[in-house]
Each structure stands twice: as structure tokens, then as C-alpha cells.
């Protein structure tokens, strides 16, 4: 007798080693995602989250803390402000002050910029937007990004002459040649400049196209520091003004017209005109209506006989009788002077009263009886016709002529 080998049962429950092997991918992926998030957080925190761009107390690469601290060491009183009212109070208290403006988010309106231009004798505006140019220097426009490898002063402005050069590659401003009252410094191509100064009777406005001149990471390169210190340190007090949301006037929500682009109204008018034109074009008539002769004229009697044969072929006796009853009821109601909307019960009572017949019999003839054979259907048809004749005769006024419904029988179904 041979021994039969039996296989040991295999457990389907996963072991700890197998579970760890299956989850190693997700563990590695989770750790990698965590490391990426930590590194991104560190880089973001070190990249300038300490304050706004060119902030007086912002030590980040895009901040302006470096030039502010140097100015303070040279004895200049730097007053950081966040609103136009604070800037006005600070310049009024100082008497002779330099106003530094960097409105990166464009919070100031045209009226506020007009007011700002009268606050200080010297105003330095960094990276001006369209509204600032229109309010402070209307003849100046945007010049794009400088493509020059080096930017030399080439102007008689003292601060630019001391700086000699600034870092290239930044934004520029456009100034038409020969514009009176303006001086362009650090020229590029096609009448573009990195610094433009406007001098009036008692005001000096200096426009610096790019923020790199004052930023912490660029202040020590080329002649940026000399330009910044000479522009901002000309007086004993420097008002460092960065507008905030507090400068935005509190108003209600904008209207639908203010939110709608300018092209929407002309487009709607154009669509309305197109719709009206299409309706006139497609809705016009091509002439008077013309009665067209049919190729075949079918008499009503032939149609009636054809329907009767169809009813007979399909043994639809009740349908044929109902068609006769509907026509007869309508004619009897008209003969009795009842309205077209009179209910059937009223017609039955009126016909019974006119013909002096029991209402039950009239109801049976007009509604109740169901023919079970062709002979019964013909008998019921004759009864309906006889009831209609009697009703017309009874409803006829005394002395009138023959009944209009009295006609000889043709042996066919009558409509």
C-alpha cells in the first residue's frame, strides 16, 4: 500500500514581512512628499516673506531694509508710513522732507496721486504705474525692459553722476527727445531711460523705473547704493511710504456696468440688429396666398361609404353607431334651440319632452344600446334617424313648411 503525500495547507493571512514589503512604496512616497514640503517652506520663508517689497524693515532680498539702515547711520530720519494721511502728516511735521513712494499694488487713485505730488519738495517714485505717470509726469511713458549690457549715467543729475552706473536689465521709461523740464539718466535704446527727473518751480520728482536699485540683493552692485543714498538722503527726513489697503476709499460694490467690459454693449447692439435683420429676411412673404387646386376631388358621400365599409369589415358596429349618434345629437340640439355646449343629459331630456317619449328610451337610443349584430346596428340606426326626424318635426314652429331634415331614405348611412 503506497503512502499518499498530503500538502500542508497554505495560510492566506499575510505575514508582517509581507505587509511591510507591500507598503514600502507608500512609506517612501510619503517621506519624499514631506521632505519636499519642508524644503519648499524653508525656501519660501527665506525668499522674502518677512514683509512687503521694498519694506523699510524687510531684510529679505526684495526688501529695502539695507538702504534704510545706511541712511539712518548717516543721520537721516526715516519715517515709514502706510497711508497717504500719515505721509502728509509726516512731511508737514518735517517741513523739508524727501518722500519715497512704491505703490506696487496700485492702491492710489489719480486724485490721491495729485495730492501726493504736493506733499514734499522732493519725491522719489519707484516703478510708477500708468496713473502715477499721468499724475506726476504726463509726458513720460513705458519703455519696456532694458537690453543694454551696461547703464551709464550720461546726465547732469548729481545723484546719477555720483552713481556713474546701475545694474542693467531692468525696466525703463520712455521720454521723447527734447521734452522741456525733464532729464533722462542711464539711457537705453529708442529714447528710454532708467531714471527720469522732472524739475518744476518748487518740486522735484524723480522716477526710478526698476526696484532693483533699492532692493537688498542689488543695492551693493554697480552704483545702485550711491544713486539710492543720494536720491533719498538729500534732506534730513525721509518719509518711506508704501500704500496699503487703508488708502483705498470705502465704497459699495461695483455696479454691473462697471464690471462689464466695454465691448459687451456694442456686441449686444450688433446681435440685436442681426436678429431683427434675420426676422425681416426670413419672415417676409413672397406674395399673396394662392389657392391650389387638388388633383383629386373626393365627395363626402364616397368618404362616408368608405368609412362604413371599413367599420363593417372590422365589425366595429359600436364605433359606427357612435359616429351616427354624435352627428344626430348635434343636429337635435340645434333643432331644439340648445347651445353647442349643452350637456348630453340636457339634450336627452329636451328631446324626450319634445317627442313625448320616455327619457329612458331616448337615452337608450342615443347612448345605451349596444348593437350585437349588423341587423341590430341597422335597426338602431333607423331608430336614431326616426328620433331625429321626430325632434325636428316637434321643434318646428306652427305653420312652417316641411321639416328640413325630412328626406327620403337612400338606403345608405347618412352623415
Specify if 403 maps to a domain: no
Q: Are 113 and 233 members of one domain?
A: yes
Q: Are 314 and 202 members of one domain?
A: no
**What does the pLDDT read at residue 36?**
81
Count of C-beta atoms within a 10 Å radius of residue 367: 14
Where the chain has pLDDT below 70, the residues are 1-20, 22, 41-50, 250-252, 284-287, 294, 298, 300-305, 307-309, 311-315, 398-415
Answer for the pair 174, 142: CB distance below 8 angstroms, yes or no: yes
Q: Are 131 and 202 members of one domain?
A: yes
Q: Are 340 and 235 members of one domain?
A: no
**What does the pLDDT read at residue 401?**
55
CATH number, domain with residue 139: 3.40.50
Q: Are 204 and 111 members of one domain?
A: yes
For the chain, the domain total comes to 2
Q: Are 225 and 335 members of one domain?
A: no
**What does the pLDDT read at residue 77?**
95
- Given the DSSP bridges, would you call strands 192-199 and 171-174 parallel, antiparallel or unpaired? antiparallel
CB-based burial, 129-166: b 16+ in 10 Å, e otherwise: eebbbebbbeebeebeebeeeebbbebebebbbebebb
Q: Are 306 and 214 members of one domain?
A: no
**What does the pLDDT read at residue 300?**
66
Q: Are 226 and 360 members of one domain?
A: no
Domain span holding position 237? 65-246
Specify if 381 maps to a domain: yes
**What does the pLDDT read at residue 406?**
45
Instruction: State pTM to two decimals.
Output: 0.52
Specify if 12 maps to a domain: no
Specify if 269 maps to a domain: no
**What does the pLDDT read at residue 182?**
93
Q: Are 87 and 232 members of one domain?
A: yes
Q: Are 238 and 344 members of one domain?
A: no
Q: Are 91 and 240 members of one domain?
A: yes
Q: Are 218 and 313 members of one domain?
A: no
Amino acid at each position: 500500500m503506497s503512502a499518499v503525500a498530503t500538502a500542508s495547507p497554505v495560510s492566506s493571512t499575510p505575514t508582517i514581512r509581507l505587509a511591510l514589503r507591500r507598503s514600502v512604496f507608500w512609506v517612501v512616497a510619503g517621506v519624499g512628499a514631506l521632505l519636499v514640503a519642508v524644503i519648499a517652506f524653508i525656501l519660501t520663508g527665506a525668499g522674502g516673506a518677512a514683509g512687503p517689497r521694498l519694506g523699510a524693515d524687510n531684510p529679505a532680498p526684495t526688501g529695502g531694509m539695507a538702504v534704510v539702515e545706511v541712511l539712518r547711520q548717516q543721520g537721516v530720519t526715516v519715517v515709514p508710513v502706510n497711508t497717504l494721511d500719515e505721509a502728509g502728516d509726516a512731511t508737514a511735521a518735517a517741513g523739508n522732507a524727501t518722500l519715497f513712494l512704491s505703490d506696487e499694488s496700485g492702491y492710489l487713485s489719480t486724485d490721491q496721486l495729485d495730492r501726493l505730488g504736493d506733499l514734499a519738495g522732493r519725491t522719489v517714485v519707484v516703478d510708477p504705474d500708468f496713473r502715477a505717470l499721468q499724475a506726476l509726469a504726463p509726458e513720460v511713458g513705458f519703455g519696456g525692459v532694458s537690453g543694454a549690457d551696461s547703464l551709464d549715467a550720461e546726465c547732469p543729475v548729481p545723484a546719477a553722476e555720483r552713481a556713474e552706473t546701475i545694474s542693467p536689465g531692468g525696466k525703463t521709461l520712455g521720454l521723447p527727445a527734447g521734452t522741456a523740464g525733464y532729464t533722462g539718466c542711464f539711457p537705453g535704446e529708442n529714447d528710454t531711460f532708467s531714471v527720469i527727473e522732472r524739475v518744476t518751480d518748487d518740486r522735484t520728482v524723480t522716477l526710478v523705473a526698476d526696484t532693483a536699485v533699492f532692493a537688498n540683493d542689488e543695492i551693493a552692485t554697480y552704483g545702485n547704493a550711491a544713486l539710492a543714498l543720494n536720491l533719498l538722503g538729500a534732506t534730513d527726513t525721509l518719509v518711506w511710504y508704501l500704500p496699503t489697503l487703508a488708502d483705498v476709499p470705502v465704497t459699495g460694490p461695483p455696479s454691473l456696468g462697471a464690471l462689464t467690459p466695454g465691448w459687451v454693449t456694442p456686441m449686444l447692439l450688433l446681435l440685436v440688429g442681426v436678429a431683427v435683420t434675420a426676422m425681416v429676411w426670413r419672415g417676409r412673404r413672397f406674395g399673396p396666398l394662392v389657392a391650389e387646386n387638388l388633383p383629386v376631388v373626393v365627395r363626402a358621400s364616397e368618404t362616408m361609404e368608405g368609412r362604413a365599409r371599413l367599420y363593417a369589415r372590422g365589425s366595429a358596429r359600436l364605433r359606427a353607431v357612435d359616429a351616427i349618434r354624435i352627428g344626430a345629437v348635434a343636429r337635435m340640439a340645434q333643432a331644439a334651440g340648445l347651445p353647442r355646449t349643452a350637456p348630453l343629459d340636457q339634450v336627452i331630456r329636451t328631446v324626450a319632452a319634445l317627442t313625448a317619449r320616455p327619457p329612458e328610451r331616448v337615452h337608450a337610443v342615443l347612448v345605451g344600446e349596444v348593437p350585437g349584430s349588423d341587423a341590430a346596428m341597422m335597426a338602431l340606426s333607423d331608430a336614431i334617424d326616426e328620433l331625429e326626424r321626430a325632434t325636428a318635426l316637434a321643434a318646428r314652429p306652427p305653420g312652417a313648411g316641411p321639416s328640413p331634415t325630412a328626406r327620403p331614405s337612400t338606403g345608405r348611412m347618412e352623415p
